[in-house]
Amino acid sequence: MKFKFLATVLLSGSMAMTQAQTIDKVDKPIDLVSTLVGTQSTYFLSTGNTYPAIAMPWGMNFWSPQTGKMGDGWMYMYTAEKLRGFKQTHQPSPWMNDYGQFSIMPMVGVKTFDQDKRASYFSHKAEVAKPHYYSVYLADYDVTTEITPTERAAYFRFTFPKTDEAYVLLDAFDKGSYVEVIPNEQKIVGYSTKNSGGVPDNFKNYFVLQFDRPFANISTFADSMLVDGRYLVKADHVGALVGFQIANPGDQVLLKVASSFISREQAERNLRELEGTDFDQRVAVGENVWNTELKKIEIEGGSIDDMRTFYSCLYRSLLFPRMFYEIDANGNVVHYSPYNGEVLPGYMFTDTGFWDTFRSLFPFLNLMYPEMSEKMQDGLANAYRESGWLPEWASPGLRNVMVGNNSASVVADAWIKGIRSKDIETLYEALKHGANNAGPLTAVGRAGASYYNDLGYVPYDVGINENAARTLEYAYDDFAIYQLAKALNKPTDDISFYKKRSFNYEKLFDPSTGLMRGKNKDGRFQAPFNPFKWGDAFTEGNSWHYTWSVFQDVEGLAKLMGGHRAMEIKLDSVFSLPPIFDDSYYGFPIHEIREMQVANMGQYAHGNQPIQHMIYLYNHVGAPWKAQYWVRETMKRMYSPLPDGYCGDEDNGQTSAWYVFSALGFYPVTPAVDEYVVGAPLFKKATLHLSNGKKIVVEAPKNSDSNRYIHAMKWNGKGYTKNFIKHSELVKGATLSFDMAPEPNKSRGTAKGDLPFSLSKDDR
């Protein structure tokens, strides 16, 4: 006999819960978001490699508490005991590090700029970390710091004890900085040039700090020297220290901060984003903005932990790529170009690596935020005009990281999904240019393009590392261009050329092992071959991971393997093999290796991108129940709402978007086609509010941890057996009804017509 009762409880907001901790309604999803998920990471083992970004969706400027030293990519580590400041950051990941950065720190009784001496103990027990609001108690100073952001500005509130020695420090960091204190305006202005690459020579981040009260005293430092009464400094490493007299315990100092990549005047203009609101009102505005975006997907009927994980992942999916544009005095959209250093009209976005994010993040934005995606496409066209290339990893300009030419996927998927950029002809030109030429950096255009153009693959023995990975990704990228060429009614020569190259993956398939393998220039496979060897011919993975990188033609891959059953067995092997590895290419186990090893899921390395789609491939060989099992298992075991809540690098929304899609019950295995592949929904109900006013409702009333298999499915009330759903039909509005069961239905989704898109089959 079951007893069920509903009670209204206060759990970071108003929610109705069952006795089994199942949430029936979420009024304020932002209350379920933790920005600390993934912050319990190190160089050697990543559980996200995130920081608690205090930001608006896609905001130009983020803020973060800073536990690490100046220049440390791990700016905030959950296990740290002290805070050194509060940093304006544009860091996409610790591996890319930061640019446009400076730090602010309140102190009492300590007059220093030294980052170790100024650090204060803090506790997570006295810390509130939300997207729109951060608060922490600095124990050594008896000061509470609060922050709330806009897209290009932020509001600080410092609550001090009674003292004549209250200070606020601005640290403009090293590598060339400038600071000027303007006491009659209660203001500090200046710039920082510290960066990690990808910037023109004239790069500066101009900042302005506006306080609400006069300064009792002023000091500035230049390099290692602090001088009282000096108002202006310019050197390698400068900053300012302004003092206040606090008459009563609990008195507050308010600070408004903004910055610009264009000019000091533009920074002042960006400060106006805070006009008309006090601190608490700004917090309320930020809460409303985030709730509006998060409530575009309403989830019902899940555990509290699953709800927290979902909305924390959704938050991470709405941060990157960030805005790199500003609004000028005439209300026009302008940007400082990270490619040529000029101030130009139009949109610009940055801080994303397409090798990671083409897989699910950009498809997610195309589904749920098409207006933002259109701006991003316009920004890509501007990047091409200003640099001559599309970025593959931008931070803020071209960076020499990762492999592939996956801008092709980002552009093509947007167009196929109905995003109508006015610059599509420029973007198509850019894709063709990048697909046939080596760029100014190894990671721009296509490294080994001449070999690929001649042989259909990048050889193993010509001094180009990660050659097999490059070949497989180039073949998929050619497919994306082929899809776009068809959609744009381009000449037959273009269409047939890129379609033919889409099959180049076949050249690396080794029948003797049933795996992808590097191939020498003379056509022989490289030897000796160890499928467990990471790196070398592959990128941050091994052959067991990259063999599945045939997004465009899973049917063709299955034929190479000997048919559907043979491929199904091969997929099973990924989970049944031990997590052994050969790290000789690197000389030590890189963190991605360790993350696979400790996950206890065989060779399945969900902590990195190459294999994240692989589970869904069971749908292509008529065994969808295995996808349903492993998707739910991965969500259950690899994600949580805790500081160690990821199983590897979060990577600018990609690993989060995987969870969001998978929890909804479908996933974009092949970006640049009009399909999603069905998985297994996590919640009893999800409602997606599309920008066109339509709704997608996903119903699975019998859902539970044990009921993870699809017994039957209906589309708008009619029986539906296919393992895929079409984007173009979904966006018209749809109700997907899932009858979930504890045992697999091995007769559903097995017919030829039920299988998802593959290039080898007739186009649908």
- 72 pLDDT band, cuts 50/70/90, is very high
The C-alpha angle 731, 736, 739, rounded to 5 degrees, equals 165
Output the pLDDT for position 434: 98
Secondary structure in 3-state letters for 668-715: CCCCCCCEEEECCCCCCEEEEECCCCCEEEEECCCCCCCCCEEEEEEE
Q: Which domain holds residue 109?
A: 51-275
| Domain-located, residue 314 | no
Q: How far apart are alpha carbons 467 and 436 in whole angstroms?
A: 16
CATH number of residue 168's parent domain: 2.70.98.10
**DSSP per residue over 383-421, as a string?**
HHHHHSS--SEESSSB---S-S-THHHHHHHHHHTT---
Determine the straight-line distance between the first and last CA of the chain, rounded to whole angstroms: 50
Residue among 84, 45, 79 nearest 64 (CA): 84
Handedness of CA 561, 564, 569, 574 (dihedral sign): positive
Task: Give pLDDT tens digits for 693-750.
Answer: 999 999 999 999 999 999 999 999 999 999 999 999 999 999 999 999 999 999 999 9
CA angle at 403 for the pair 462 and 651, rounded to the nearest 5°: 155
pLDDT digits (tens, 9 = 90+) for 317-360: 999 999 999 999 999 999 999 999 999 999 999 999 999 999 99
User: Of 403, 564, 386, nearest to 468 (Cα)?
Assistant: 403
Is pLDDT of 19 > 50? no
pLDDT-derived band at 509 (thresholds 50, 70, 90) equals very high
- In the sheet with 7-10, reading across from the earlier edge strand, the strands are 7-10, 14-17, 22-26, 302-303
Q: What is the pLDDT of residues 398-425, one digit of tens each?
A: 999 999 999 999 999 999 999 999 999 9
- Residue-wise pLDDT for 133-192, tens only, equals 999 999 999 999 999 999 999 999 999 999 999 999 999 999 999 999 999 999 999 999
Scored b (16 or more CB within 10 A) or e, 725-753 reads bbbeebbeebebbbbbbeebbeebbbeee
Does any domain span residue 446? no
pLDDT, the chain, mean: 95
CB contact set of 379 (below 8 Å; sequence gap of 6+): 321, 324, 325, 346, 347, 348, 349
Say how far apart CA 183 and CA 597 lie, in whole Å.
Answer: 57
Mean of the pLDDT values across residues 63-74? Answer: 97
- Considering the domain boundaries, does residue 135 fall inside one? yes
- For residue 396, whether the previous peptide bond is cis, meaning omega lies within 30 degrees of 0, is yes
Q: How confident is the model at residue 200 (pLDDT cuts 50, 70, 90)?
A: very high
555, containing H or E segment = helix 554-561
Could you tell me if residue 236 is inside a domain? Answer: yes
- Alpha carbons 662 and 619: distance in angstroms, whole number: 14
Report pLDDT for 375.
Answer: 98
- Number of structural domains found in the chain: 1
Q: Does a structural domain hold residue 177?
A: yes
Of 17-31, 566-580, 593-607, the least confident: 17-31
pTM value? 0.96
Q: Are 697 and 690 in contact (CB under 8 A)?
A: no
Residue 187 lies in a domain: yes
Is residue 403 one of the residues assigned to a domain?
no
619, part of any domain: no
Number of Cβ within 10 Å of residue 688's Cβ equals 19
